[in-house]
Amino acid sequence: MGLNLKLKVWRQKNNKDEGHFEDYQVKADEDMSFLEMLDVLNEELVHEKKEPVAFEHDCREGICGACSLVINGRPHGPNAATTTCQLHMRHFKDGQTIVIEPFRASTFPVIKDLVVDRSALDRIIQAGGFVSVNTGQAPDGNSIPIEKNRAEHSFESAACIGCGACVAACPNGSAALFTSAKIRHLGLLPQGKVEEGTRVANMVAQMNKEGFGMCSNIGACEAECPKEITLQNIAYMKRAYIKATFSGE
């Protein structure tokens, strides 16, 4: 049992460093997650008094968006609708070579090895501002009626974990899928509708300011997104932004 794997891992000391691939051998178990396999590698490296491979992770259950990695050319690896932390080693073959690289975009500078700075996405969220709600007593559940389909669609968009795989997958390095998911998530709900115009204008402007590429409807983002966010979100963002520009107060 177990898998003998050859890894080609991107190593880069810091943002100034050129970076290069380093080859490793690792024994993994089919039931391990991809990150656990890297944990094994790092334990060995530490044991050998070598620098462990830096990679990001937090929840390890597919909900926080911290994990990243481009595995054999694909953000979050070969499986559809799966984050790297939820990817299991049984999807790889014994003796296989796995190439592990960081998410690539000029807006995601490499900090170290496989860790990139995705704070540009945070700044887009911040630019969105606030949602007006009454404070005070906790409101009764269902006190604001929301049509079922709306709630469902909003929820689909809310599934975006902000991982940035869409930016990494996009040949243009565009953050349109991420930004539009956030915009549609709030815009479809009555609570979010109130400030939608300014929110959309500010978030789109921030996306531009950060230097993300301009969406040309390639659809690589949609194909790689671990939460299956669709291009319909981007169309929603366009409508909302056009509306905010030409009819906003």
Binding site for another protein (CB under 8 A): 21, 70, 72-74, 99, 101, 104-107, 169-174, 176, 204-205, 207-208, 211-220, 222-224, 231-232, 234-239, 241-242, 245
3-class DSSP state for residue 244?
helix
* 77 interacts with ligand SF4 by CB under 6 A: no
Rule CB under 6 A: choose which of 3, 5, 37, 67 binds ligand FES: 67
Q: Which amino acid is located at 129 in the chain?
A: G
What is the edge-to-edge ordering of all strands in the sheet holding 20-28?
Answer: 20-28, 3-11, 97-101, 70-71, 74-75
133 phi, psi to nearest 5 deg: -135, 155
CB 76 within 8 A of CB 88: no
Stretch in the footprint of ligand FES (CB under 6 A) among 19-27, 60-68, 207-215, 232-240: 60-68
Q: Is the dihedral of CA 47, 52, 53, 54 positive or negative?
A: positive
Picking from 83, 88, 105, 217, the residue whose alpha carbon sits closest to that of residue 169 is 105
Q: Looking at the DSSP assignment, which residues form a beta bridge with residue 88?
A: 33
When CB distances are held under 5 to 8 angstroms depending on the partner's kind, the choice from ligand FES, ligand SF4, another protein, none that residue 212 binds is: another protein
* 225 interacts with ligand FES by CB under 6 A: no
Q: Spell out, one character per residue from 185 to 214, where the chain touches ligand FES: x when CB under 6 A holds, - when not.
A: ------------------------------
When CB distances are held under 5 to 8 angstroms depending on the partner's kind, the choice from ligand SF4, ligand FES, another protein, none that residue 232 binds is: another protein
